[in-house]
Every structure is written in structure tokens, then in C-alpha cells.
Amino acid sequence: MLALTLIVCAAFVGLGGKLVYLQVFRHDELAKLAQDNTQHEFRQAPRRGDILDARGNLLATSVPVKTICADPSLISTRQAVVAHTLAPLLQMSESELYPKLFVRVSKNEKGGTVTNNLHYVRLQKNVTEETWQKIQLAMSRISFGADEKKLSKNDRELLRNLRQCAIFADPDQMRVYPNGALAAQVLGFSGVEEFKLDGRPVSQISGRDGIELALNSDLSGVAGWRVTATDSKQQELVALRDEDVQPRDGLNAVLTIDAAVQNIVESVLADAMKEHEPVSITGIVTRPRTGEILAMASLPDFDPNKPGAAPPDALRNRVISDVMEPGSTFKTIVISGALNEHVVSLSDVVFCENGVFHYGGITLHDAEHDHFGNLTVEQVLEKSSNIGASKIGIKLQAPKLYDYMTRFGLGALTGISLPNESSAANFVRPPDTWGKYSIAQIPMGQGVAVTRLQMAMAVGAIANGGVLMRPMLVKRLQDRDGRVVQQYEPQTVRRVISEETAKEMVEALKTVVSDDGTAPLARMANYVVAGKTGTAQKVVNGTYSNDKFVITFIGFFPADNPQLCISIVMDAPKEGGHAFGGALCGPVFHEIAERCASYLNIVPDEIPGQPKSPRPIVASAKSKNNYQTP
């Protein structure tokens, strides 16, 4: 009895010591281990906000999908049967799916074995709800070729868990662009960022370019989380849930882009691309008074649903990222400055040297077959005389010319809500860096470079009475219920010329589309158009090419009450040296302007001697992206 008593007492002393060791000395360590085994934090992803056009049409949205996962510990040795059942539904081969269903074992630094993905392995992303229901049904009916009634209780339990719990789904979302390539470079595209939370991989959609990138933080929202206890099968024990913070969905972005106008521009540009085979072609439609951008297109383009399928060159938004010599469109800035400084008037006569002008050791020429003598300043714009513009620039002098270049926004970022904009600052240099002939060369649009957007906004400033506007692409941010969170208003940059000078320039630019001007093909039937052509030689291997040109037409209408300003630029069309802005870009402008005027119901001008034809309220147009104009 004494011996038995001593043994029992020793056992209790040992047990007590063990308890003290575990609950006192190792309390923190073991408590954390217990918590890690039973308590988990689940991230609750917010829904990424939509991108809408000015009329509320969806341009980008997020749709709910499933990420299909497996618990390899519940599959046991039946990987082949599960792979055979799931492969067709997941659109995977059995050989690809089969290895994912095994519990992975690896070696740690000390040479021991470590079990990985015991309860979680991701099989397939972006699976629809319909497919997930089919997967659940297939798993519930999965057969293992045995009489289950004869199996042991443990085996039947194993099969039940395999059918019900071995394959499960995590909620996810997929970014979708319903109109395909429509406004692709404006919208940009998105990608998936992955990280681990509580040992499980988590994905998050993030913008990679365009509006998706520029407004990424607003579109993304804020994730929520749930801290809860789980059982041995990793199922939540709701009664033991500690924290449950709901996610805050991303905001919807409403753009100034009008999907119907964008569709018109892209359709017409696609036809011109096919006919003239340029390296690229771009189009911009703006409202001069507000700076709102109704359309911005660049071809070749891409489908943001599949950005990886397009060449990198197609992803670039040439309207804001590429720089070019403006050619004769730059004459609008030179002559605006000269008129504003009262250096010249529209009626002043300029001798254009019969087509050949020697200055500073170089020889300047007017366009092929043009040998002008005396031209008024207005005619210099109408005929687009290089020599006339150079002489006006010389008279204005370099400091003032540079001043007006910067006033009109050249060499500076426009402030548009898009990434990767070029300022072209390296190509708009102060006068103290100019060569001896720069003052004659720059006024004709050589030796200076701009972006397409800079030049469009500069001409828009003339249409807007001499006031330069900041390009506006985002109208407002709103929540999912339509409540406005942030409203954006048009922003004035500065006055660049007086209202009187702007009116004079408009009158002069009207002559460009006359029969004697350089762009009669841009003329519209029911509206007075004002605009300017440009034909710039491309620089190839450091010298000006004689057969590669960048051609432009920028115009606005109705000229005296401008509603739209449209810029068209073609890079190196197949016509080569015979390509001129008015001949090739003029008809493209005309087609876009006519269709936009009908769609937007712009009131026609009263043109003397011409009957006023009624305009339809709405014009329908169907695009290659199956977007139907409302």
C-alpha cells in the first residue's frame, strides 16, 4: 500500500509538473499554436467599381466568378477518378489536373518533411456560377466502382467527405469589357495581383494601364475581413466568429467619353486604316468650351479582355504618349501670336519668295508645286505657305514665339487623367538653345514636337475664344447606388490670346476648307467648318524622309459657335510623298463630323444661299465591337 501510494503521488507530481511546464512556461507558444490551428482570418474582397460612359453605358465591369479549389487530404488515393470527373468541366486535361490533387511533401532546412497544401490547392480561376453548380452535381454523383454498402463506416465517411468537401469554391471576380476593343487605350486593362493571407493565396484585380490604372485606388475599394474559428475540416464555426468587417466596394467612374461617338470615330478610322494603310491613325473629339473628351481612339488597338494577345505597340495610347512634328497645324500658334501682339494683321501682305526662301544657311520650300508670290496673312493660313509662316515667325521674334508656344500648352503635360502622357518638353526648347535658322524653321512646324492631344487642345483654345482648357476625361465618381462622391468640373488653364484675336483666327481658318484652301474635302453641308491641315516629314535615321509623312487635320464646327473639335492624324500612309492632310484626313474628319452632328443633334448653321436641311435627332451606327448607338 505504501509503495502504491508513493507511485500515485509521484504520478500526480509528474503530471502537475508537466501541466506547469505546458501552461506556464510554454503558455504563449502553445496558445498561439492552438489559435493558428483553429482560428483563421478570411479576406472579404471588395467589388471593383464599374467604368461608365457619359450616358451610363458600361465600358468595364466586374462579374462574380468562382475559384475552384481542392482539399487534397480528403481525396486520399482517388485522384484519378476526381481528375477524370472534373477535367472537362474545368477545361483542363486530366494529366494537368491529376498532380494537383496530391498532398505535397517537401524537405525543410533541417532535413525533415513538411506537408504543403494539406487542405488547400487552387485548381482553376474565373469559373462561372453555372459551371460550379455542374461541378457540385458531378462530385455528388461520383462513383468509385465499389458496393458502398459493404464498405466500413470509416470508408463511407471518407467517401462522403470527398463528395461534399474535397472540392470547394472561393468567391472571386473577373474584369470584363463588354464592348471589346472600344476605347481600349482609354480604359486600359487590368491584371491580377496575388499574395498570401493566412497561408492561402489571395488574388486582387489591379489596373495596369489607362483609366484602370489612373483611378485604381478609387475603383479598387477597401477589403473587409472575418476572423473566425474553424473545425478540423476547415469549416467555419459561426458561433465562434470574432470579427466581421464588411468590404467597401470600389467607386464607379463616369467618363466624358460617349460610347456612341467613340464608336463612330473608331469605325471611320478603321475604314481609313484599311484604305490608306498608315502605320497608325488617331482621332480625338472634344468640346472646346469645357475640354471634355467625347472620343479618343488609336489604331491599331487591342481587346482589353485579352491584352496579352495583342502586340505591345497596340497597347500604347499614341494620342498622349507619342510625339510628332506638328507640320502646318503649328502655323495656327505662330499667326495667333503675331495677331495678338499686333505684329501683323490678316490683311497684311507677305512676299512668299515664289516658293524658295534662303535663310540662315538653309533653303526653305513651300509644298510641292506651290510657288506663291504675295499672300495676305489670311492666305498664308488658307494656302498653308511655309515661307509665309516663317516670315511671320521671324517678325514675331524668338522670345515671343516661344512664349506663345508655352502659353498654348506645348512642352507641358496637359493634365489628362491618364498615365504615360508625354510632355514633349525636350522638343520645345527655350530660344537660347535655338540654332541660327530655328526662327525660320519652327514656324512651319519643323524643329518642334508635340503630342496629338497638346495640338488638339491648342486649336480648341482658338475655338474657345482664346482660352485653353484642361482636357477632361472623368466626370464624376459615384457609389453603387448612384450617389455622387466626387464631381469634376471643367478647368481653365489660361487665356492664351484675346477674344478679338481668336475671332480673327476663326475667320482665317474658315478659308482652309474653301475651294481655294488646303482642305475642301473637310467641308460640311450644313455647318461652317474652321480648321488647319498639316503635313510633316518624318525623321528617319536623323534626316527628314521624302516619302514618309505624318498628316493631320484639326477642325471645329459650327465655326462661330463651336460644339466639337476633331483631330485626325495619320502616320505614314501608303500614299507617301503625295499624302497631304486635307486630301486624306479631310474626308475622315468630314465623315466623323457629319455622323456626330446627327447623333448629337447639333443645330445647323444658317448658310447664305443654301437651304437649311433638317437633322435627325439620333443616328444609328453599328461598330465592329457590336456596340449599338442608343
- Give domain 259-304+318-477+491-600's CATH number out of 3.90.226.10, 3.40.630.30, 3.40.710.10, 3.40.640.10: 3.40.710.10
In the chain, which segments carry CATH 3.90.1310.10?
36-107+115-255
- Pair 363, 353: CB distance under 8 Å: no
- Pair 262, 55: CB distance under 8 Å: no
Distance CA 591, CA 167 (A): 56
Distance CA 172, CA 131 (A): 14
Give the pLDDT confidence score for residue 508 in this predicted structure.
97
Distance CA 327, CA 574 (A): 19
Give the pLDDT confidence score for residue 628 in this predicted structure.
40
Question: Could you tell me which residues come within 8 angstroms of residue 588 by beta carbon, excluding any fewer than 6 positions away?
Answer: 268, 269, 272, 281, 283, 553, 568
Q: Please give the torsion angle defined by the CA atoms of residues 493, 496, 500 and 504, in that order, rounded to the nearest 10 degrees.
A: -120
DSSP, collapsed to helix, strand or coil, labels residue 9 as helix
Percent of the chain predicted with pLDDT > 90: 65
Give the pLDDT confidence score for residue 629 in this predicted structure.
37
C-alpha cell at position 217: 485606388
> How many CA atoms within 13 Å lie on the side-chain side of 210?
27
What does the DSSP 8-state code read for residue 250? P
Give the pLDDT confidence score for residue 184 in this predicted structure.
97
Give the pLDDT confidence score for residue 357 in this predicted structure.
92
Give the pLDDT confidence score for residue 343 in this predicted structure.
96
Give the pLDDT confidence score for residue 577 in this predicted structure.
63
> Which residue do the cell numbers 517678325 mark?
395
Instruction: Please choose, from the candidates 87, 61, 233, the residue with its C-alpha nearest in 3D space to the C-alpha of residue 160.
Output: 233
- Pair 283, 172: CB distance under 8 Å: no
Q: 544: which strand partners?
A: 539
Residue segments in the chain with a per-residue pLDDT below the cut of 70: 32-43, 105-118, 146, 148, 196-201, 225-226, 228-244, 577-579, 607-630
What is the torsional sign of CA 344, 496, 461, 423? positive
Helix axes 452-463, 499-510, angle to 10 degrees: 110
CATH superfamily of this structure's domain 36-107+115-255: Penicillin-binding protein 2a (Domain 2) (3.90.1310.10)
Distance CA 221, CA 419 (A): 20
Give the pLDDT confidence score for residue 21 in this predicted structure.
81
Question: Could you tell me which residues come within 8 angstroms of residue 291 by beta carbon, excluding any fewer than 6 positions away?
Answer: 457, 460, 469, 470, 471, 472, 490, 491
In the chain, which segments carry CATH 3.40.710.10?
259-304+318-477+491-600
Give the pLDDT confidence score for residue 157 in this predicted structure.
81
- What is the rounded end-to-end Cα distance, in angstroms, of the chain? 100
Instruction: Please choose, from the candidates 596, 624, 336, 354, the residue with its C-alpha nearest in 3D space to the C-alpha of residue 458.
Output: 336
> Is the peptide bond preceding residue 558 cis, with omega within 30 degrees of 0?
yes
Give the pLDDT confidence score for residue 581 in this predicted structure.
84
Give the pLDDT confidence score for residue 512 in this predicted structure.
96
- Pair 439, 430: CB distance under 8 Å: no
Rg (CA), the chain: 34
Give the pLDDT confidence score for residue 243 in this predicted structure.
63
The pTM score is 0.85
Please spell the DSSP secondary structure of 472-524, one letter per residue: B-EEEEE-TT--EEEE----EEEE-S-HHHHHHHHHHHHGGGSTTSS-GGG--
Give the pLDDT confidence score for residue 627 in this predicted structure.
43
CA 423: distance to chain centroid? 18
Instruction: Please choose, from the candidates 48, 61, 54, 50, the residue with its C-alpha nearest in 3D space to the C-alpha of residue 472.
Output: 54
Please spell the DSSP secondary structure of 446-473, one letter per residue: -S--EEHHHHHHHHHHHHTTTEEE--B-
